[in-house]
Chain A
């Protein structure tokens, strides 16, 4: 009996200690798909966040505690996870989710309780639209189209462009529209437009129609399968124009299917390790390699940037208060991330450098970086 009392007393002392201790920590929630169909994204992002925390272990002089909850890549699980992080774990801010649909369902909860949430990789424009508390560190498609136009006009010096659009994908239609708008604004000309649908295999007619207008460049912001087949047929039909695409190209199948035809194709993307330019970026790449023994990927990098920018915002806010953190986040215009400075626009989307990549000798290769 005596021993039991002792245990209870020790327990009470210990727990009161730990409560006091807990309030002394900065608790940050992380909601990611650690299992389920998109678990790979969650795993990569969690790896990035862990390394980022190693580099910035304290905020406001207090130790950071990360609370990870698995969303399973599911909308309902994601919303529950956010609820749990806020109500039970009392976190002051949340990093997550990896995909747009779950970020939207979880974001609705965060919005309701007034806790800031930063997604590393949710690209759908609706994720942050009209939301007070939701942010993201990746760019959205209108921005990607704009940068592609800028790079094509200023660096590749093309003036006549043909658009080849997958009418079945909002992603592709949106990118093409934003490209066109910005390219015309710069003084370029759209000489031809051709359409196709996801799953199409024969592009010879589109290629011939486009070729007749002699464009300097063909902009085809679709997905890798069709881009590979299109480019292959274009080269077979004697088209010499530059082919330019977007992040949908980034899959090994592009090179396997396209073979020699896709050599020299350009596309915009979020991140490339070769583009890391800042001190914090170099430290991140180094620590990541030390811990995991491999190169960084864009998921890890963007997740780390979410952590860094959040830490910065909490420091700026002066205390771990969700409302104040939100206000601090909104004010960030030039924060030094891994590849250079970035900030948030009025819709809480990141305005950040865009990476240009190409295919060289059967491999993806880094070309350069375009600052907004």
Chain B
């Protein structure tokens, strides 16, 4: 493998990794606040993609407006999922909420299948994001540059939201202790709804980026990204936003490098990547940046 090829592979890895990171930060944030592994995250992402798709192709909206609309509508969807499916179970054992999340995931997939149909659709890529770039033999399209940029910006925005705003303070308080927080006069439901709104908006944003990179959408498209994002989040230390970002980047990079060095066994890249993650977690069960949770007394 020549040096140019190596750089090309690193660029590929960076681009895939930042996409994983983008989906993973939404995933990890919801977990960080209410300790719920939201298995429906990938499917919320899929709905976001379809909304953006219909905005452009059915209502002939400019893509920017269609994207913003899709992200907003998806965050509303996230809130309604919380109110309908998770809120009634807030006091139930955590396993009930987990199973409900799986149920919501199947519901969204099946609804997608019924409403949108099973055949894949081609997601339109705006011309400005489809310009070929050649940097000394390393090829990419203009969109490739946008993903890390967007991931970075959303991460900064999220950090600001969680650590510098009043609602962020409430979110962190809920994360620490729901009972006590509500005793302090904080409307816990409102805070959690808000968390879901932000998480789903991030899912939709990640989904749209995903659909531009791989311009083919179908009702099952959320399963793999959801799984990858979950793994990235666990790898980085679930609940930790920086960790999710780091985990996403590493996962993307590992996958690409596996294929780069061993293209003839690339069909098993997921298996190999996941085995590496299992190995890491055996030595560091809380993930790379995770803190050891002490049992609350």
The answer to whether B122 touches A253 (Cβ under 8 A) is yes
Tell yes or no: B141 within 8 A of A by CB: yes
Query: Which A residues from 53 to 105 make CB contacts under 8 A with B?
Result: none
The answer to whether B214 touches A205 (Cβ under 8 A) is no
The answer to whether A205 touches B256 (Cβ under 8 A) is yes
Instruction: Choose among A168, A208, A257 the residue that contacts B12 (Cβ–Cβ < 8 A).
Output: A208
Instruction: Give bound CA distance, A232 to B257, whole Å.
Output: 21
Residues from chain A with a CB closer than 8 A to the CB of B5 are: 208-209, 211-212
Residues from chain A with a CB closer than 8 A to the CB of B255 are: 202, 205
Q: B2-32 CB contact bits vs A (8 Å, 1 = yes)? A: 1001001100110110000000000000000
Query: Which A residues from 94 to 125 make CB contacts under 8 A with B?
Result: none
The answer to whether A193 touches B122 (Cβ under 8 A) is no
Query: Which B residues from 113 to 128 make CB contacts under 8 A with A?
Result: 119-122
Residues from chain A with a CB closer than 8 A to the CB of B62 are: none
Instruction: Choose among A205, A228, A256 the residue that contacts B260 (Cβ–Cβ < 8 A).
Output: A205
Residues from chain B with a CB closer than 8 A to the CB of A192 are: 263
Residues from chain A with a CB closer than 8 A to the CB of B9 are: 205, 208-209
Tell yes or no: B266 within 8 A of A by CB: yes
Residues from chain A with a CB closer than 8 A to the CB of B270 are: 197
Query: Which A residues from 229 to 260 make CB contacts under 8 A with B?
Result: 229, 232, 236-238, 253, 256-257, 259
Instruction: Choose among A196, A237, A257 the residue that contacts B139 (Cβ–Cβ < 8 A).
Output: A237
Residues from chain B with a CB closer than 8 A to the CB of A205 are: 9, 12-13, 255-260, 263, 266
Residues from chain A with a CB closer than 8 A to the CB of B13 are: 205
Asked whether A238 and B139 contact (CB < 8 A) given A205-B259, A212-B2, A253-B119, the answer is yes
Instruction: Give bound CA distance, A194 to B141, whole Å.
Output: 23
Give chain A's interface residues, CB within 8 Å of chain B: 165-168, 192-197, 199, 201-202, 204-206, 208-212, 225, 228-229, 232, 236-238, 253, 256-257, 259
The answer to whether A229 touches B140 (Cβ under 8 A) is no
Tell yes or no: B145 within 8 A of A by CB: no
Instruction: Give bound CA distance, A145 to B195, whole Å.
Output: 54
Q: B91-107 CB contact bits vs A (8 Å, 1 = yes)? A: 00000000000000000
Residues from chain B with a CB closer than 8 A to the CB of A228 are: 216
Instruction: Give bound CA distance, A205 to B270, whole Å.
Output: 13
Instruction: Choose among A165, A208, A229 the residue that contacts B214 (Cβ–Cβ < 8 A).
Output: A229
Instruction: Choose among A196, A232, A253 the residue that contacts B120 (Cβ–Cβ < 8 A).
Output: A253
Residues from chain A with a CB closer than 8 A to the CB of B132 are: 236, 238
Instruction: Give bound CA distance, A195 to B260, whole Å.
Output: 11
The answer to whether B263 touches A210 (Cβ under 8 A) is yes
Instruction: Choose among B1, B139, B258 the residue that contacts A212 (Cβ–Cβ < 8 A).
Output: B1
Instruction: Give bound CA distance, A192 to B1, whole Å.
Output: 12
Residues from chain A with a CB closer than 8 A to the CB of B259 are: 194, 205-206, 209
Residues from chain A with a CB closer than 8 A to the CB of B266 are: 194-196, 205-206, 209
Q: Give chain B nearest CB distance to A227 CB in angstroms.
A: 11
Instruction: Give bound CA distance, A331 to B8, whole Å.
Output: 57
The chain B residue with its CB closest to the CB of A252 is: B119
Q: B28-68 CB contact bits vs A (8 Å, 1 = yes)? A: 00000000000000000000000000000000000000000
The chain A residue with its CB closest to the CB of B141 is: A236
Instruction: Give bound CA distance, A232 to B211, whole Å.
Output: 13
The chain B residue with its CB closest to the CB of A224 is: B120
The chain B residue with its CB closest to the CB of A207 is: B12
Instruction: Give bound CA distance, A165 to B264, whole Å.
Output: 9
The answer to whether B263 touches A204 (Cβ under 8 A) is no
Q: Give chain B nearest CB distance to A45 CB in angstroms.
A: 22
The answer to whether B139 touches A199 (Cβ under 8 A) is no
Instruction: Give bound CA distance, A236 to B134, whole Å.
Output: 10
Closest 8 CB pairs of A and B: A167-B267, A205-B259, A195-B267, A204-B12, A201-B214, A194-B263, A209-B263, A238-B139
Residues from chain A with a CB closer than 8 A to the CB of B121 are: 256
Residues from chain B with a CB closer than 8 A to the CB of A199 are: 224
The answer to whether B267 touches A168 (Cβ under 8 A) is yes
Q: List 6 A-B contacts (CB under 8 A).
A: A194-B264, A194-B266, A195-B266, A205-B263, A209-B260, A259-B122
The answer to whether B263 touches A225 (Cβ under 8 A) is no
Instruction: Give bound CA distance, A253 to B15, whole Å.
Output: 25
Instruction: Give bound CA distance, A27 to B69, whole Å.
Output: 64
Residues from chain A with a CB closer than 8 A to the CB of B265 are: 195
Residues from chain A with a CB closer than 8 A to the CB of B139 are: 236-238
Instruction: Give bound CA distance, A148 to B267, whole Å.
Output: 23
